[in-house]
Structure 1
Amino acid sequence: MSVEAAGKAEASRFSLTNLIRQPLLVALVLIVLLLALGEMLSPGFASPQQILRLLIVAALLGIVAAGQNLVILGGREGIDLSVGGIVSLSAIIAGNVMNGADSGILPAILACVAAGALFGTFNGIGVTLLRIPPLVMTLGMLGVLQGLLVVIRQGVPSGRAAPALSEFVTRPFLLGLPGIIWLWVLIGLLMAFLLRRTVFGYRVYAIGSNEQAAFLAGVPVRLIRISLFTLSGAFAGLAGLCLIGYAGSSFANVGELYMLPSIIAVVLGGTPLSGGKGGYTGTMAGAVLLVILQSILTTINIDESGRQMIFGATLLVLMLFYGRGRAMRA
């Protein structure tokens, strides 16, 4: 091989490495490719109406992933497996508080966010003060929530969404877009400001990068980590409220469908599970990508168990590229 050819090969490998290290760009490219694939498999898949429906579903996932993103950014292999249970519980709380009445929307919002924040705080206390690993703590909390759901529901669906909430989630609100998409955009802006323009955000990245160094620098590590789990629970509670607005009523374990995808969306967006690096913009793109992928799998008649297997395999593949964050920082 000539020197010129070797130089071109090296440049090609360098370009590919640079591309892989830009997960947001990779996600956007994959979104376009999957939309094209979906249109080939089912004409009309990439129509404006269908894309709008996909964005609504992506917004539901994206709201859950916002809290998951914060927990993962905080490092210590932080993962919140309880978000699915919190979403399910919040959907039931919202349905029963509203019970079809618009006057119950505000109390439902307060109740869902408060309930989610409460269970998130329990997670944070268990992880920080009791030194329980996040994976174990949040998995245990998921079991508690699942048991609580059985006691509350007793096998009988109850509660329904208020008409105004359903319209906010599914009907055009501003510039032809439903309210939930504008809510998601607002959350994205708030997350960007929180992480990039506030002391709290700087501290989150510091803890995720090197917890011991952050502690020695005077950062209140325990308080910050508890707040991350609290916010994760609050976002999951808000997602549960929006979910019942989308579905009209709650059904058993509806939130479990968001547990694994919320983690994948974060990693796909460029936030390694080691924490300390990444942001929410990539997570938003990851949520859209996953919803499109799920829609394609549904189009080709892959059942729920098959989709979960594919999502799990996707997470494993993503870990090869983005999961080993310490090496990527070099």
Structure 2
Amino acid sequence: MRALPQALKDPLAIAGAVILLLLAAGEALSPGFAAPRQVVSQLVIAALLGVVAAGQTLVILGGREGIDLSVGGMIGLGALVAGNVMQGQDGMILPAVLAAGGACFLAGLLNGAGVTLLRIPPLVMTLGMAGVLQGLLVVLTRGQPSGNAAPALTGFIVRPVLLGLPGMLLAWAAMGVLMWLFLRRTRAGLSIYAVGSNEEAARLSGVPVARTRILLFGLSGLFAGLTGVFVLGYTSSVFIGVGTAYVLPSIIAVVIGGTALAGGAGGYTGTMAGAVVLVLLQSILTTLSIEPYGRQIIFGATLLLLMLAYGRQRRLKA
């Protein structure tokens, strides 16, 4: 009983409870919603969101109200580059991943340079970058699907690889472990928390604040580019606006997981749980036949409520 009040302050515990409630509600509304195969399918979709949300987590942890609104365009760019390098050939998967990740990493570094060196507010800088990338995608694709996914990539995303789980889920689990180790057990990870908590104190302690923040935006671009590769494997083709649907959910997932929007507190484990919550919520809304615009309204309202609840809280655990 004494542990209950403490658990109610833990966003990860709250997210876990919400996941169980959503599964129960979904099963009640549509029998089979919580069946193992259906749950695995939902987790694959959550993994796609979780990868781009990893970069969003890092940017938000870095403080200064850092939110990356360009991840949608980055996902589209990553998918376009990967699809055209890959062209349906299994042997070109690795070069495609490197090309997509590299292109988006460089675009992310531009975001970081604008925010850090030119002092452009993150929302303005990344929103401008999103517009540039969307225009670039229109020019390059001329509004038509471009590029093809390799069969091995598609199989990795959706087909069982080990213990009945798709490779995408195994990769996401491994990424979660690596992110935890990076943030909690490395000097670079602890520097991110220091910068987000108190930028001036971090600078006086010898942390390269400007370089750290630029790198965080670069990593956000990298994760978004990798998401584009995975989305390509999931959908098998590239189309304009493929990443738009990930922008708002990637922010909500981070906040649900307990990462403070002010920076300096939180972690990726909570973000992973937040991604699962959002995907289950979206599935239930789809089951209820709510139109896409209705789902978008609910997502926006959810973000506003979470900002009121968590946005100014800097002592939440994750």
Same fold (TM over 0.5): yes
Tell me, in whole angstroms, the C-alpha distance in 1 between the residues paired with 2:17 and 2:148: 39
How far did 1:15 drift? 5.4
Asked if 1:229 corresponds to 2:209, the answer is: no
Asked if 1:194 corresponds to 2:195, the answer is: no
Asked if 1:104 corresponds to 2:92, the answer is: yes
| TM-score (norm: length of structure 2) | 0.97
Counterpart in the other structure of 2:249: 261
How far did 1:43 drift? 0.8
SS in 2 for 1:204: helix
SS in 2 for 1:254: coil
Counterpart in the other structure of 1:315: 303
How far did 1:326 drift? 3.9
After superposition, give the CA deviation of every residue in 1:56-112 in whole Å (9 maximum; x if it has no partner): 000000000000000000000000000010001111111111111111101110011
Asked if 1:177 corresponds to 2:165, the answer is: yes
Counterpart in the other structure of 2:229: 241
After TM superposition, list the pairs within 5 Å mapping 1:2-41 onto structure 2: 16=5, 18-41=6-29
SS in 1 for 2:243: helix
SS in 1 for 2:161: strand
How far did 1:186 drift? 1.1
**How many residues get paired?**
317
Tell me, in whole angstroms, the C-alpha distance in 1 between the residues paired with 2:26 and 2:262: 34
Counterpart in the other structure of 1:3: none
| Higher Cα Rg, which structure | 1
- Alignment-mate amino acid for residue 110 of structure 2: F
| TM-score (norm: length of structure 1) | 0.93
Counterpart in the other structure of 2:152: 164
How far did 1:320 drift? 2.1
Do the aligned residues in 2 keep the contact of 1:94 with 1:241 (CA within 8 Å)? yes
Counterpart in the other structure of 1:8: none
- Alignment-mate amino acid for residue 20 of structure 2: V
Do the aligned residues in 1 keep the contact of 2:46 with 2:275 (CA within 8 Å)? yes
Do the aligned residues in 2 keep the contact of 1:86 with 1:237 (CA within 8 Å)? yes
Structure 2 counterpart of 1:122, from 102, 107, 110: 110
Tell me, in whole angstroms, the C-alpha distance in 2 between the residues paired with 1:268 and 1:136: 24
After superposition, give the CA deviation of every residue in 1:283-308 in whole Å (9 maximum; x if it has no partner): 00000010000011111111111111
Tell me, in whole angstroms, the C-alpha distance in 2 between the residues paired with 1:23 and 1:199: 25
Structure 1 counterpart of 2:268, from 256, 259, 280: 280
Do the aligned residues in 1 keep the contact of 2:80 with 2:146 (CA within 8 Å)? yes
Tell me, in whole angstroms, the C-alpha distance in 2 between the residues paired with 1:327 and 1:241: 35
SS in 2 for 1:127: helix
Do the aligned residues in 1 keep the contact of 2:86 with 2:147 (CA within 8 Å)? yes
Do the aligned residues in 1 keep the contact of 2:265 with 2:315 (CA within 8 Å)? no
Unmatched segments (≥5 aa) in structure 1: 1-10
- Alignment-mate amino acid for residue 46 of structure 2: A
- Alignment-mate amino acid for residue 296 of structure 2: Q
Counterpart in the other structure of 1:290: 278
After superposition, the CA RMSD in angstroms is: 1.5
SS in 2 for 1:173: strand
CA gap of 1:20–1:76, structure 2 versus 1, over 3 A, is farther
Counterpart in the other structure of 1:303: 291
After superposition, give the CA deviation of every residue in 1:118-154 in whole Å (9 maximum; x if it has no partner): 1100000000000001111000000000100110110
Tell me, in whole angstroms, the C-alpha distance in 1 between the residues paired with 2:228 and 2:314: 34
Do the aligned residues in 2 keep the contact of 1:275 with 1:325 (CA within 8 Å)? no
Unmatched segments (≥5 aa) in structure 2: none
Counterpart in the other structure of 1:83: 71
Do the aligned residues in 1 keep the contact of 2:259 with 2:316 (CA within 8 Å)? no
Tell me, in whole angstroms, the C-alpha distance in 2 between the residues paired with 1:15 and 1:192: 25
Tell me, in whole angstroms, the C-alpha distance in 1 between the residues paired with 2:25 and 2:315: 33
- Alignment-mate amino acid for residue 173 of structure 1: V
